[in-house]
Amino acid sequence: MSNQVKDIFPVLIENAAALVLYLDLDGKVALCNKKTQSMVGLSRTQIIGKNWLKVLFRNKNSSLRGDMFKAVLDDALTYKRSKDFQCHLSGKNDDLRLVSWNITPILDKNDRVQGSLLLGLDITSFRERENSLKNIDDSLKNIISSINEYALYVINLDGLITYFGMGCEKMFGYTKPQIIFKHVGILHNVNKAAFELSLIFEKVRQSGRYESEMELFTRQGQAIPVRMTVNRFLDADGKLTGYIFIAKDITETKKLEYQVFQAEKLAALGQLSAGMAHEINNPLFVISGRLEILKQEKIAPEYREVLDLIDSQATRIRKLVDRILKFSRKSTLTLDKVDINQIIDLALPLVNDSQLPARKVEIIKSFAGNLPKVLGDPDQLQEVFLNMIINAYQAMPGGGLIKITTSNFENLYAQVQITDSGVGIPAANFKNIFMPFFSTKGKGTGLGLSICHNIIKSHNGSIELESQINQGTTFTIKLPFA
Amino acid sequence: MLYKILIVDDEAPVRDLLVDLFKKEDCQTVACGTGQEALNKLATESFDVVLLDIKLAEMSGLDLLENIRHKYTDMPVVMITGFGFDEELICKSKQYGCCGYIAKNMPVVQIIDTFKRLVKEAKEKGCSR
């Protein structure tokens, strides 16, 4: 080292942007630089020769920090090793600065401690930036995790999932370790995966983006309707390295769409059946009327039998048309404030009639007390519950249990659940269950549930079902409180 | 003769059947297929009751009912329909002042009985309403 450079060394220390202090063995400050003076707000003469603790921790509130610092310093001196320490320092105007300290014992030739060097860096602004970044990061995490109908994942060019982001675990039921580096096809229908993915990749290659509705599958194999957006994933040089998938769960939208579609379909069917019923009723009336007149004539016995047969078949048509009209009718509701529990109680005795074959069926009622009343037509609602209970009965050829539960749903609806322990309804039949003439019972007209559906809809209510094969079916009816 | 009935229905087979059914009940019948025809008949002949189909080709049954009510205040009118017991239609018919309502999908015997009962009640009241 040349002399010139040696001379400049004290100048460097004096002007360094760090606090530099040299303490003697008694803990008195022997040397300090400019930065130290400006940080503690004292002049050099006020500092030199003073106990270092009284210089750095003059403030009464800071004595605890001083004690901790002293412990670290003693440790460094005792074990003759360098130590790091972070603490706040009350600077000028008592503003708190965060300082990161390094304490180094200075040894003489005989390895004896002769003093200690304190080097302090003001890291206040650095920490503030770090904190604000952390805050942004935290709030982003919060925002993303609160949008739980979205799932974001990334795949590489081999189709392997490289990022399984927020919302993914919740939507698909896989944990990250279970799915990272698995092929993305795992989220698709096994038979359609190859086709769907090649379509997506082709579209993204062509236009940079793919957007469409499709079905993805959870780990449990349950289909989720999603609105899928796929974009290119580029590296810093703009090279394609994969694809970003954003899937939005649209189950609720689909459900609403389906309900509207269903309601429109039923309304159209209602109109059609009303027209048809009327057209059938006229000729049928002529047939029945002419028969009636004919039956009063003198007729050979063998023809009388034929007439009776024609009569009974005409009656059959008449009854069917009656049911169709009932389904199609926009009947006027005679509205009243009604107690749903009471309506069900009135419907129950009507179930035990001769139409039903003898079976061991137990009915358990679990009614909510203090259930507010609903605005409804008592006769029509009674017909609904009667129908539902008979259905439940018929679903259990070997007997079983019918559970009827009423409850207050979010202070908005009276909820009635009718659960049987019967054969269940295959999922494929769910969409047809409320359609007129849909029946799996082999008898009856298949109009019962569609009539129930219409009645509940005209009460601004809803009717839904859940079913498990061989375990049973639950119908849930919600009617708004009056 | 029990009653003299004006039967209004636009379908000939239905009309003919009603004529034959009520003849057997010792009623005299006059049948026509349109509202205008019916008004012409009412202007020239007297009737005990009008049996009127709600759905007619030109003037609707309800319009005709209103017309009759306007000109022949006390004339009993019984409505008959292929729509079954449609509450909306029943309501409207009642508003327009018919004295009863018969559905074509009722058993024939019941149709005749109901008709006779309705006319009897109307006559007893001395007023159709």
- Dihedral sign, Cα of residue A56, residue A62, residue A67, residue A71: negative
Question: What pLDDT score was predicted for residue B14?
Answer: 93
pLDDT value at position A231? Answer: 93
pLDDT band at A20, cuts 50/70/90?
Answer: very high
- Coil, helix or strand at residue B46: coil
Instruction: Return d(Cα A324, Cα A91) in angstroms, integer.
Output: 90
Most confident listed range (A123-132, A254-263, B38-47, B69-78): B38-47
Cα separation, A196 vs A226, in Å, equals: 13
What's the rounded Cα separation, in Å, for the pair A459 and A465? 18
Which of B55, B84, B107 is opposite residue A277, by nearest beta carbon?
Answer: B84
**Least confident range of A19-33, A361-375, A423-437:** A423-437
Instruction: Convert the pLDDT of each residue in A45-95 to its tens digit.
Output: 999 999 998 888 887 777 788 888 889 999 999 999 999 988 888 777 777
Domains in chain A: ranges and CATH? 3-128 (3.30.450.20), 147-249 (3.30.450.20), 254-328 (1.10.287), 336-480 (3.30.565.10)
State residue A209's pLDDT score: 92
Give A383's pLDDT tier (boundaries 50, 70, 90).
confident
Whether the model pTM is above 0.95? no
Does residue A121 register a pLDDT over 90? Answer: yes
Taking only the tens place, the pLDDT of each residue in A269-303 is: 777 887 788 788 889 999 999 999 998 888 898 89
**Percent residues over pLDDT 70 in chain B:** 94
CB of A316 within 8 Å of a chain B CB? The answer is no
Residue A231 host element (H or E): strand A223-234
Q: Is A181 left (phi over 0), alpha (psi -120 to 50) or beta?
A: left
How large is the average pLDDT for residues A173-189? 92
**Which pLDDT score, from 0 to 100, does residue B128 have?**
42
Write out the two tokens for B110: 């019941």
Alpha carbons A28 and A320: distance in angstroms, whole number: 110
Smallest CA–CA distance, residue A280 to chain B, in Å, is: 8
Interface test with B, best of A273, A276, A280, A286 (most B CBs within 10 A): A286
What domains can you pick out in chain B, each with its CATH number?
Answer: 4-124 (3.40.50.2300)
Among candidates A184, A299, A306, A261, which has minimal Cα distance to A435? Answer: A261
Give mean pLDDT, residues B14-43: 93
Per-residue pLDDT, A354? 52
Higher pLDDT, A259 or B34: B34
Is A318 in Cβ contact with B84 (below 8 Å)? Answer: no
Under the banding of pLDDT at 50, 70 and 90, the label for residue A147 is low
Smallest CA–CA distance, residue B126 to chain A, in Å, is 30
Q: Which of B24, B87, B105 sits opposite A318 (nearest CB)?
A: B105
Task: Give the residue from chain A lying closest to B20, CA to CA.
Answer: A293
B86 — contact with chain A (CB < 8 Å)? yes
Say if B74 is an interface residue toward chain A (CB within 8 Å): no
| pLDDT tier for residue A115 given thresholds of 50, 70 and 90 | very high
Minimum mean pLDDT range among A214-228, A320-334, A411-425? A320-334
Per-residue pLDDT, A95: 79
Answer whether B57 touches A (CB < 8 Å). no
Q: B80 pLDDT exceeds 80?
A: yes
Q: Contact B107/A315, CB-based, under 8 Å?
A: yes
C-beta atoms surrounding B35 within 10 Å: 22
Q: Taking residues A170-192, what's their average pLDDT?
A: 91
Mean pLDDT on A88-108: 86
Is residue A327 a contact partner of residue A447, using CB atoms and an 8 Å limit? yes
Please, are residues A450 and A329 in contact by the beta-carbon 8 Å criterion? no
- Are the Cβ atoms of B108 and A292 closer than 8 angstroms? yes
pLDDT (mean) for B78-92: 77
Cβ neighbours of A322 in B, within 8 Å = 84, 105
Q: Write down the pLDDT at residue A244.
A: 92
Of A286, A315, A332, the CB nearest to B88: A332
CB A215 within 8 A of CB A195: no
| Burial grade of A9 (CB within 10 A; 0-12, 13-18, 19 or more) | exposed
pLDDT tens per residue across span A294-352: 988 888 988 999 999 999 999 888 888 877 777 776 556 778 899 999 999 988 887 76
Q: What is the pLDDT of residue B129?
A: 43
Q: Which amino acid is at B100?
A: G
End-to-end CA distance of chain A: 96
Instruction: Give residue A442's pLDDT.
Output: 59
B55, A277: Cβ pair inside 8 Å?
no
Please list every residue in chain B whose beta carbon sits closer than 8 Å to the beta carbon of residue A286.
13-14, 17
Instruction: Please give the share of chain A, as a percent, with pLDDT higher than 90.
Output: 43
For chain A, give the mean pLDDT: 87
Q: Give kind and range of the element (H or E) at residue A291.
A: helix A251-295
Bridge pairing between strands A361-366 and A400-409: parallel
Of A392, A333, A336, A388, give the one whose Cα is nearest residue A359.
Answer: A392
| A-B contacts (CB, under 8 Å) | 69
